[in-house]
Structure 1
Amino acid sequence: MTPLWLNDATVPARLRLTPGLRFDTVVIGGGLTGLVTALLLAESGVEVAVVEGRRLGAGTTGATTGKISLLQGTRAQRIAARHSDRTVAEYVEANRAGQQWLLRYCEEHALPVQRLPALTYAQTEDEIPAVRAELRATRAAGLDTYPVDDLDVPFPFHGAVGLADQAQLDPMALLAMLAADVEAHAAPIFESTIAHGVHHRDNDDLVIDTEHGELAARTIIVATGTPMLDRGGFFARLTAQRSYLTAFRVAEPIRREMFISAGQPTRSLRYVPGRDGDLLLVGGNDHVVGRTGSTSRRVDDLAEWTRTWFPSAEPLQSWSAQDYHPIDELPYAGPLLPGRERILVATGYAKWGLTNGIAAALALAGRINGKPPRWSGALATWRPAEVKAIPSAAQTNSAVALRLSTGWLRMARSGYGPIPTEGCGRVERHGLQPTAVSTVDGKTTEVSAICPHLYGIVRWNDAEKSWDCPLHGSRFAADGTLLDGPATASLPLLSGPAVVPVTDPPRGGPSTVFPEKI
């Protein structure tokens, strides 16, 4: 499942880390927040470097819808339900600052951007109250939103709230330009370098432990989707969500607005300009990572919905993205621990990272340079208002505890089974060892089924051929390679890959290796 944006992306590979280096600031994570933060710091004279675990664009930014909007589904009313009017206004101001910075950057670097309205629409009559509530909340926060009673669209539409002059772009073109700009300011980017942890050195430096050696810094910024450091407990303050997107070629006219539904299942639409004609991008069907049945059915459902309302729709490409929803609805950009400015984090954008991510970068860079934006309090990592989110946190973490116990109980009742067929995976118990067995591209591989973060039992994702942890959203390739955190280590390989034979051979003996907690 490769994002559409990677088809024509020209992003050269960067070298992995050379150990033993030191910088004033090191940014962990080469997505939008990480690159913009690094650029802002480099422009102000800070010696900075970026460390990316995979390739630039391999995370959420490279899989986003590319919408740059201050009207964000039903975000305003959700934030208003937990916070003061002033806080909602500060959140909108933060996103406006992020949007303006991004649009200005694109104009200065001749990056194509389409300016068009954004709409949050009701796909059923039951969603009309949510649309009206979003209109009230956004107007109270200072946005010039307006009601839309009717619109000539082929899909179910029962009114909307709109906001003019928003924007969309190709996120990989943006990342490529940002990366080149960062390096032009003498700030190196190291790819294929997973950070495992951080410790203090005797001279008061912070040292990042990576798979290729140590990297020292005065200040560290963790911009990895969910922080890869457990200190601060951000993994328990976020819910990892996966959503799906498909690009279609259609004969029907495509509206020039960005749409997102006010209710579930989410339906997000935009057009994508192309050399061979415009494409239709449809997204939605989100779920908590590792807590659904067949993920491929969710992809199929998007295609079925699209063909229902656009009969000529021809699916060209499908992919997915991972986002993190904060328990009290506001993003985080600030210290990992209260009162300690040496390690900063940014996370919790709730699927609106093209504005929130840049707002977080502006807040973090301002914090380091001693000039934080006036709205940065709305993105604080530690705020008294989070006390109101305790019921939500309790509900979130009780679900985690349930998945932890049911995963181990299910594993305890399972034993050896037949080799999975192509594209399938299964968790088995081999003696005392929970084992994740899968067959991908004709090769069967066995890895530990225990997530090295907090020991959850992983589940097979049949759409992406990955092992997903239902506790906090860590993901691993079929061969155990780490894809998404908060885990910082891959699943240990137990056996394989082996070519699948015509008949099932006897299994080897069980393994009893349990991974250590990082």
Structure 2
Amino acid sequence: MTSPLWTRDRTSVATPFEADARHDVVIVGAGITGLSTAVMLAEAGVDVAVVDAGEVGQGATAASVGMASLLQGTTLAALRRHHPASLVRAYVDANRAGQEWLAERAGGAADRRTAFTFGRVLATDVALDAVRDAAREAGLPVREDAPGDLGGHTPVRALALDDQLALDPVLLGTTLARAAVDAGAVVHTGVRVGDVRALPSGRIDTDHGTLFGDTVVLATGTPLTRRGLYDLKTRALRSWAIAFEMEGDAEAPGGMWSEVGVDGRSVMAAPWSFGRPVLIVTGARHPVGSARSEVALAEELAAWAQRTLPVAAEIARWSGQDYQSHNLVPFVGGMPRGLGRLRFATGYAGWGLTNGPAAAMRLTDEIRGVSRGDRPQWMRTIGTRMTVPADLGRGIGEAGRRIGVAAGALSSAVPAPAKRPAEGAGVVARQGVRTAAVSTIDGRTRVVVAPAPLTWNDAERSWDSPVDGSRYAPDGTRLEGAASADLPSAG
């Protein structure tokens, strides 16, 4: 069960593709960032086209668990540890603007909830103090509160922020796509982008033909091009989510809960729009390609939920990918060497439901030429990136980790597979200076070649790159990440 909870019984929103069409703006990615940008621009009279290889909201959006919170676990404390209070406040104000915009648009896709950051042991007090202080300094009215509705295991201590949003992300994406189309935008789904260019004009090349735009916006999680080397400036992270039915007559916890210091673990009930009581547990956050076994990580999370919470049958499990910038602030704006024609957003660190619309506001103002002085203060502050020694240290540490994982993958590679892998398994072999990735799925053995080490994802049956976070199907088809091309077959 590796299909997100939200992807069931959703209506497609798409318009016919016209090759060689020209638009003011072409947006790659029909997730929250891309669709929010499309709505804002189209409602301002801009001619917009949105393109996605899948359906609306089926990528990172569908993998979301639906928390649109300003408390954001320990994020604010981490930001304050390395940045001035003015930047943390600007980050909060940006996310508040994004949250308020979504609340106006979400309709029945959203519930109002209290968000909690909590700890189960006394040792988390220092971390919770840091969260409390950073949040209050940034203007959030957090309070101390530890209600006992989180199963039978009441937190030792919790911080609470009222009036946050729990969302059905795919229903939200569908709502935004319809709003964009109603405002005059076109939305092309099932159209795969192979290349993005800035010369002689903005353009994207797809498997259906070429589209031209005065501006191209890459709203694809991480940019679908290596201009600017943002795959080296961010960490690609994966997390697991599991949805359960409630046990007997047990009621789902009423809030949204993020635990301190446990690999991004959180608990929340699905929003009312889903139609029945379902409890979602997330966690096992880790760098892409670093897990010994994705199946084992998911099983450990499921076992924790079954021990700790009043859950019954598991009804869905899935994983998703997000990107964290080394200075913890999202990248939004013009792409280096993009001649002002290429724009992008990345680095939300798992909080894209509020960062995404905020990024859309910045992109919209830049594309429409709104003067810097007429933009909100948060936009001016957060748009001036600050690099401090700790950021450089995180970047160097991440580079060292990638080199270590890649070296380990290379050292474990065999000269050549002695026999084909077992069903559902993958083996890495050396082929000169390249990596040969051999897998057997549904009785068919495939071999693809990569310029860098890969690791086998035993849950999703994919090849994952610990170097840049890209992921590929067994036949080499690119699934997500910084890579723009498929892997070639070995023959």
> Which range, TM-score by smaller chain?
over 0.9
Per-residue deviation, 1:419 = 2.2
* Structure 2 residue aligned with 1:168: 166
Is the 8 Å Cα contact of residues 258 and 265 (structure 2) preserved in structure 1?
A: yes
Give the whole-Å Cα distance in 1 for the aligned partners of 2:364 and 2:326. 25
Give the whole-Å Cα distance in 1 for the aligned partners of 2:116 and 2:311. 24
- Size of the alignment, in residue pairs? 482
Question: Partner letter of residue 412 of structure 2?
Answer: R
Is the 8 Å Cα contact of residues 168 and 274 (structure 2) preserved in structure 1?
A: no
Instruction: Write the mapping of 1:274-313 to structure 2, written as runs, cut at 5 A.
Output: 277-310=276-309, 312-313=311-312
**Counterpart of 1:337 in 2: which secondary structure?**
coil
Instruction: Write the mapping of 1:142-221 to structure 2, written as runs, cut at 5 A.
Output: 142-149=139-146, 151-153=148-150, 154-155=152-153, 157-202=155-200, 205-221=201-217
Give the whole-Å Cα distance in 1 for the aligned partners of 2:410 and 2:156. 45
Distance verdict in 2 for CA 1:91–1:429, change over 3 Å:
same
**Deviating more after overlay: 257-266 vs 433-442:** 433-442
* Structure 1 residue aligned with 2:132: 135
**Counterpart of 1:81 in 2: which secondary structure?**
helix
Q: Which runs of 5+ in 2 are unaligned?
A: none
**Counterpart of 2:387 in 1: which secondary structure?**
helix
Instruction: Write the mapping of 1:388-399 to structure 2, written as runs, cut at 5 A.
Output: 388-399=390-401
* Structure 1 residue aligned with 2:476: 480
Distance verdict in 2 for CA 1:192–1:147, change over 3 Å:
same
Give the whole-Å Cα distance in 1 for the aligned partners of 2:364 and 2:389. 27
Per-residue deviation, 1:155 = 2.9
Per-residue deviation, 1:426 = 1.4
Per-residue deviation, 1:480 = 1.7
> So what's the TM-score if we normalise by structure 1?
0.88
Instruction: Write the mapping of 1:197-346 to structure 2, written as runs, cut at 5 A.
Output: 197-202=195-200, 205-251=201-247, 252-272=250-270, 273=272, 277-310=276-309, 312-337=311-336, 340-346=339-345
**Counterpart of 1:255 in 2: which secondary structure?**
coil
Question: Partner letter of residue 377 of structure 2?
Answer: R
Is the 8 Å Cα contact of residues 196 and 488 (structure 1) preserved in structure 2?
A: yes
Is the 8 Å Cα contact of residues 31 and 223 (structure 1) preserved in structure 2?
A: yes
**Deviating more after overlay: 396-405 vs 480-489:** 396-405
**Deviating more after overlay: 170-179 vs 421-430:** 421-430
Distance verdict in 2 for CA 1:156–1:430, change over 3 Å:
farther
Per-residue deviation, 1:343 = 1.5
Question: Partner letter of residue 307 of structure 2?
Answer: T
Give the whole-Å Cα distance in 2 for the aligned partners of 1:384 and 1:115. 34
Is the 8 Å Cα contact of residues 98 and 358 (structure 2) preserved in structure 1?
A: yes
**Counterpart of 1:30 in 2: which secondary structure?**
coil
Is the 8 Å Cα contact of residues 202 and 213 (structure 2) preserved in structure 1?
A: yes
Give the whole-Å Cα distance in 1 for the aligned partners of 2:411 and 2:308. 43
Distance verdict in 2 for CA 1:188–1:431, change over 3 Å:
same
Instruction: Write the mapping of 1:62-81 to structure 2, written as runs, cut at 5 A.
Output: 62-81=62-81
**Counterpart of 1:375 in 2: which secondary structure?**
helix
Per-residue deviation, 1:221 = 1.1
* Structure 1 residue aligned with 2:452: 456
Give the whole-Å Cα distance in 1 for the aligned partners of 2:315 and 2:196. 42
Structure 1 runs of 4+ off > 6 angstroms? Answer: none
Is the 8 Å Cα contact of residues 128 and 158 (structure 1) preserved in structure 2?
A: no
Percent identity between the two aligned chains: 36
Per-residue deviation, 1:470 = 0.5
Give the whole-Å Cα distance in 1 for the aligned partners of 2:170 and 2:420. 38
Give the whole-Å Cα distance in 1 for the aligned partners of 2:342 and 2:376. 19
User: What is the RMSD of the two structures over their aligned residues, measured on CA atoms?
Assistant: 2.1
